[in-house]
Amino acid sequence: MSDRKTLDVYAKAAQAYADGFARADDSFHDPDYAAFTSLLPACAHILDLGCGPGHWAARFKAQGFVVSAMDASPEMAALAKSDFGIDVEVAAFEALEHKRSYDGIWANFSLLHAPRRELPEHLKRIHRALNPGGIFHIGMKLGDGEGRDKLGRFYAYYSEDELKNLLQNAGFTVTRTRRGNGQGLAGGIETYVILTAHA
């Protein structure tokens, strides 16, 4: 995520976002967390890609996984450090240049800020960064096209079939999908899809 307007929104709303999501009861995502972690070996190395305020990275770490974290927002990275002791690499998605470095990559509602034209290459980068058979979790909002929400954040929307095809084209095999509805920072209720895949 390198869109300046989106980063500015998160810079101003970082604390509110952390208070509303990082410290909230996120139990409705427990099945997604379990679907991801149950496929990983003990002490697996996980990358939280677009980690936000660090709450998922902290949960992985507490479970005994080795955790790396990336986010394009310096303000979110600072909260991850101060609240959870998570060191975050402040970088955009295209900075992911590792090869066969991770057992799992968790991209929970982060890649939706990437333009549609860029997502295929991001998925290829993620596939290259995973060890053979590595596990990938991606959460995205359902819809079509791209645009900005009322807060000014950039979003790209996809159908479930589009995402499955994009993942397949990047070399992934999708093993699980789940749809749900949730309220985001902007206040609206939107439908999302979670996909779990292996490299």
Claim: this prediction has a pTM higher than 0.75:
yes
Residue ranges of domains in the chain, CATH in brackets: 4-198 (3.40.50.150)
Q: What pLDDT shows up at residue 24?
A: 53
pLDDT of residue 2 exceeding 80, the answer is no
Distance from the Cα of residue 51 to its chain's centroid: 6
Residues sharing a CB contact under 8 Å with residue 187, sequence separation 6 or more, in sequence order: none
Both tokens assigned to 150: 């009322």
Residue ranges in the chain assigned as alpha helix (H)? 4-17, 30-37, 55-62, 74-84, 119-129, 160-169
Please report which confidence band the pLDDT of residue 186 belongs to, taking 50, 70 and 90 as the band edges: low
Q: What is the per-residue pLDDT across 59-77, written as a single tens digit (0 to 9) for each?
A: 999 999 999 999 999 998 9
Residue 102: HSE in the Cβ half-sphere, 13 Å Cα cutoff: 26
**What does the alpha-carbon distance between residue 59 and residue 83 come to, in Å, rounded to a whole number?**
12
